[in-house]
Amino acid sequence: MTLDNRKSKILESIIRDYVETAEPVGSRSVVRKHNLRISAATVRNEMADLEDMGYLEQPHTSAGRIPSEMGFRYYVDCMMQKETLDDSELELLQKILNENIGEWSDIVSKVGNFLSQVTNYASFVIVPSIKLSEFKNIQIIPIANGKAMLLVVTDVGVLMHRQIDIPTSIASEELQLIGKAFTRVLSGTRLEEMRRNELKALREDLKNRRKVIDKVLEAVDIMMQGSRDESVVISGALNILNEPEFKDLEKLKRILTILEEDVLLKQIIPDPISEEVNITIGKENKAEDIQEMSLVIAGYNNFGEMGKIGVIGPVRMEYWKAAGTVESLRNILDQVLSKKYF
Amino acid sequence: MTLDNRKSKILESIIRDYVETAEPVGSRSVVRKHNLRISAATVRNEMADLEDMGYLEQPHTSAGRIPSEMGFRYYVDCMMQKETLDDSELELLQKILNENIGEWSDIVSKVGNFLSQVTNYASFVIVPSIKLSEFKNIQIIPIANGKAMLLVVTDVGVLMHRQIDIPTSIASEELQLIGKAFTRVLSGTRLEEMRRNELKALREDLKNRRKVIDKVLEAVDIMMQGSRDESVVISGALNILNEPEFKDLEKLKRILTILEEDVLLKQIIPDPISEEVNITIGKENKAEDIQEMSLVIAGYNNFGEMGKIGVIGPVRMEYWKAAGTVESLRNILDQVLSKKYF
DNA sequence: GTTAGCACTCAACTGACGAGAGTGCTAACA
DNA sequence: TGTTAGCACTCTCGTCAGTTGAGTGCTAAC
């Protein structure tokens, strides 16, 4: 169902005003602020229609109207123009990306940070586990008496580095050999296919260095555990303190708890339907805990797996700004990460 | 000035009740809850005295009394018995410490987490910059075409690992040599004494590999920047949502903002007077922003520098529990970290 | 189809009032 | 002299009625 031109205009005015002020919008103020060439009474008639159709609701008879979730949905689907980053924002982004970046996980957190700053909502970036990548080589570097650094390298970069204890007697060359043996066994294996029996065989082969082997196996094990989970970076959770809809302490606590806990947040963020910007509004969200929030979320390509980036905010959200910003940053992540590391 | 026995008992009762309920405490409830063998009228007289002395205050004439900051101070100085961890808590702690711990920064975050869980206040652990340690060796390990891993090892462990780009032409052996050259120049140097001119000289020496040298220098530079700052781990900031004194949104926002931002928190945490447990109550805190909070803080020995661990909560704090827990964890950190890494 | 006008509705604010908790003071008691 | 019972007093808090103002829906005229 599509609305006629005037109804659309009125709906949009109400949405804009309501998003800005968080107050019900009356007929007079629609006419005044957006200087439409019609009278308040006409607007009232139209508003009554829009309410009948389900796009507006009235908190009580003598209040103005607020957009219903269906109203926001209509706006998002049929009218919204994504608002792109303005010059000063682009400049800031450039600056951030040019800063010295060590590991690429830095990029993720910086982009997330930027997203929450620009939109004033909480942002999240979910980095998928990298199942698809292959072991490339394993190195064991002595760094001190009884200590060594284990490096596990995959085709997308260094997957793990971890200190391990080693017998003090062992020579640097031998460590190299052990590393090579591991590399031989694991090289080309996909992470998710790593077979325990192969590793066991290795353990038999190198019987006399079993202690080191065990340490390495233990470390690799921990690494596998870690890489099995996707990781989450959250920024700007405190932005919701500024939203009047969360002045209620209980609500606030519920939402902040979710936003603080990676685990909870991961459960709540759905897979976006496509890599394009997806918007879910209020009750459209499956997870009960965020049915008074909206999500703007997009997928990005992270070494063959889909990562997610987005913002979470009140239903009364500046969708135009959020959608535009998420889209831009999605593209930037795609672009940055498409420069494969090796 | 010290209080007679009965006054002490009454003060303690009021503190206990007030900490628990956050409500002014009346004379009747003091008698009832702590079955003292005296009447409410007597207690009222004593309470009037305590108020005159400044240990109690009255929000308004017809309300009960609440302890003043001076009252808390007296309690903390003259009466408090630190409450140690109970069996189930100790068990939990053991479990946490036995879990697989990779880098020792994991310990810090786990201990911090435990501290906030047990006390129900926000906890922080500040890890000092490690100025005193010495460079031990520097290694450059090729991990792929055009990529290498730089390891900088000091006498307290691996200080930094960082990927760097290298020319694809360069041989693994040559990287080793470059690493050794760096090691020669830097070995035994204290971090804070690292001299730029020595590094420049090195750059001249290895003219033909200047690109690599520059990359390494750049990375070392970043590392030095990073190590110059102490790092902070915060846990359980959301605990203050449960404190009735912060039901005011503005207050809440102010405090949470500080608790979320490492930088802000660092500015606010004073150096403890000694390594022992220090308590600062409300306005005793120099930093204005936390003059309605109390700090319980202790120092711990972190490779020769003083680290800090503590909790931050409302003035109406369970000091006995907080002080005991902070003390225990301080000792544990001391103990764990005293096993020098090399 | 649009608009002016008007009666109507309802949340939010205001002030009055009573209940309840707790005090301070006084007088009696041990 | 210290302790206690009793009582008048104070102050907050919740409730309730009255008022205000924003905004609506409806009707009649344009």
Closest protein residue to C1 (Cα–C1'): A42
The least confident of A103-107, B150-154, B258-262 is A103-107
Q: Residue B233 and residue B221: Cα distance in Å, rounded?
A: 24
At B60, the amino acid letter reads H
Residue A254 reports pLDDT greater than 90: yes
Find the closest chain A residue to B164 by CA distance. Answer: A102
* Percent of chain A predicted with pLDDT > 70: 92
Find the closest chain A residue to B250 by CA distance. Answer: A241
Residue A116's pLDDT band (cuts 50, 70, 90): very high
- Specify the long-range contacts of residues A205-213, CB closer than 8 Å, at least 24 apart: A205/A181, A206/A178, A206/A181, A209/A170, A209/A174, A209/A178, A211/A166, A211/A167, A212/A140, A212/A166, A212/A167, A212/A170, A212/A175, A212/A178, A213/A178
For residue A305, the cross-strand partners are A302
Do the chains contact at B341 and A136, CB–CB below 8 Å?
no
| CATH classification for the domain delimited by A87-128+230-338, as one of 3.10.20.30, 3.30.565.10, 3.30.450.40, 3.40.50.970 | 3.30.450.40
Residue B242 reports pLDDT greater than 60: yes
According to the model, what pLDDT value does residue A129 have?
Answer: 79
Q: Are B115 and B329 in contact (CB under 8 A)?
A: yes
- For the stretch A191-202, pLDDT in tens is 777 666 677 777
CATH 3.30.390 occupies which residues in chain A? 135-228
Smallest CA–CA distance, residue B100 to chain A, in Å, is 8
When CB atoms are compared, the residue of A147, A157, A247 closest to B342 is A147
Helices marked H in chain A: 5-21, 27-33, 40-53, 69-74, 87-98, 104-119, 172-186, 196-205, 210-228, 249-260, 262-268, 319-338
- For the stretch B66-81, pLDDT in tens is 999 999 999 999 999 9
- Alpha-carbon torsion, ordered A323, A329, A334, A338, to 10 deg: 170
Amino acid A245 CA to nucleotide C13 C1' distance, rounded Å? 22
B21 token code pair: 């309920």
Q: Are A333 and A307 in contact (CB under 8 A)?
A: yes
A63 token code pair: 């209040």
Smallest CA–CA distance, residue A36 to chain B, in Å, is 38
According to the model, what pLDDT value does residue B196 have?
Answer: 66
- For the stretch B80-138, pLDDT in tens is 999 999 999 999 998 888 776 656 677 889 999 999 999 999 999 999 877 767 788 88
Q: Which of A327, A233, A231, A237 is nearest to A274 (CA)?
A: A327
- In chain A, residues with a C-beta closer than 8 Å to the C-beta of B222 are 100, 102
Find the closest chain A residue to B148 by CA distance. Answer: A158
Q: Mean of the pLDDT values across residues B193-219?
A: 75
According to the model, what pLDDT value does residue A195 have?
Answer: 64
Do the chains contact at A143 and B158, CB–CB below 8 Å?
yes
Smallest CA–CA distance, residue B195 to chain A, in Å, is 22
When CB atoms are compared, the residue of B139, B145, B249 closest to A241 is B249
Residue A217 reports pLDDT greater than 90: no
Find the closest chain A residue to B236 by CA distance. Answer: A260
Say yes or no: domain A5-79 is CATH 1.10.1040.10: no
Q: Which of A237, A105, A80 is nearest to A161 (CA)?
A: A105
Strand order in the sheet with B147-154: B135-144, B147-154, B157-165
Q: Are B82 and B323 in contact (CB under 8 A)?
A: yes
Where are the extended beta strands (E) located within chain B? 56-57, 66-67, 122-127, 135-144, 147-154, 157-165, 231-235, 278-281, 293-302, 305-314
Q: Mean of the pLDDT values across residues B169-195?
A: 82
Q: What is the CATH number of domain B135-228?
A: 3.30.390
Angle at A153 between CA A148 and CA A157, to 5 degrees: 125
CATH 3.30.450.40 occupies which residues in chain A? 87-128+230-338
Q: How many residues in chain B?
A: 342
User: Residues near B257 by Cβ (< 8 Å), separated by ≥ 6?
Assistant: A238, B264
Do the chains contact at A102 and B158, CB–CB below 8 Å?
no
List phi, psi (to 5°) of B107: -60, -45
Smallest CA–CA distance, residue A329 to chain B, in Å, is 24
Find the closest chain B residue to A137 by CA distance. Answer: B143
* Percent of chain A predicted with pLDDT > 90: 52
The least confident of A319-333, B48-62, B135-149, B322-336 is B135-149
What H or E segment, with its residue span, contains residue A138?
strand A135-144
When CB atoms are compared, the residue of B100, B145, B252 closest to A222 is B100
Residue A289 reports pLDDT greater than 80: yes
According to the model, what pLDDT value does residue A288 have?
Answer: 92
User: Residues near B339 by Cβ (< 8 Å), separated by ≥ 6?
Assistant: none
CATH 1.10.10.10 occupies which residues in chain B? 5-79
The least confident of A78-82, A145-149, A200-204, B22-26 is A200-204
Residue B158's pLDDT band (cuts 50, 70, 90): low
Chain D bases closer than 7 angstroms to a protein Cβ: 3-6, 9-12, 21-27
Residue B197's pLDDT band (cuts 50, 70, 90): low
Q: Are B47 and B26 in contact (CB under 8 A)?
A: no
According to the model, what pLDDT value does residue A152 have?
Answer: 85
Smallest CA–CA distance, residue B137 to chain A, in Å, is 8
Q: Are B202 and B213 in contact (CB under 8 A)?
A: yes
- In chain B, residues with a C-beta closer than 8 Å to the C-beta of A117 are none
Of the ranges A50-54, A131-135, A262-266, B272-276, which is most confident?
A50-54
According to the model, what pLDDT value does residue A196 have?
Answer: 66
- For the stretch A88-101, pLDDT in tens is 999 999 898 877 66
According to the model, what pLDDT value does residue B106 have?
Answer: 79
Amino acid A41 CA to nucleotide D24 C1' distance, rounded Å? 10
Closest protein residue to C20 (Cα–C1'): B62
When CB atoms are compared, the residue of B144, B158, B222 closest to A149 is B158
B8 token code pair: 């002490």
Where are the extended beta strands (E) located within B34-187? 56-57, 66-67, 122-127, 135-144, 147-154, 157-165
* Percent of chain B predicted with pLDDT > 70: 92
Cβ-based contacts under 8 A for chains A and B: 82
- In chain B, residues with a C-beta closer than 8 Å to the C-beta of A156 are none
Residue with more model confidence, A108 or B317 = B317
Q: Are B247 and B296 in contact (CB under 8 A)?
A: no
Give chain B's largest Cα–Cα span: 92
Residue A278's pLDDT band (cuts 50, 70, 90): very high
Q: Residue A55 and residue A66: Cα distance in Å, rounded?
A: 9
Do the chains contact at A257 and B249, CB–CB below 8 Å?
no
List phi, psi (to 5°) of B288: -60, -40
What's the mean per-residue pLDDT of chain A?
A: 88
Q: Mean of the pLDDT values across residues A130-141?
A: 79
- With an 8 Å Cβ cutoff, the interface of chain B facing chain A consists of 100, 102-103, 136-137, 139, 141, 143-147, 149, 151, 153, 157-158, 161-163, 218, 222, 237-238, 241-242, 247, 249, 252-253, 256-257, 260, 341-342
Q: Are B266 and B230 in contact (CB under 8 A)?
A: yes
CA atoms lying within 13 Å on the CB side of residue A13: 24
Pairing of strands B231-235, B157-165: unpaired
- In chain A, residues with a C-beta closer than 8 Å to the C-beta of B261 are none
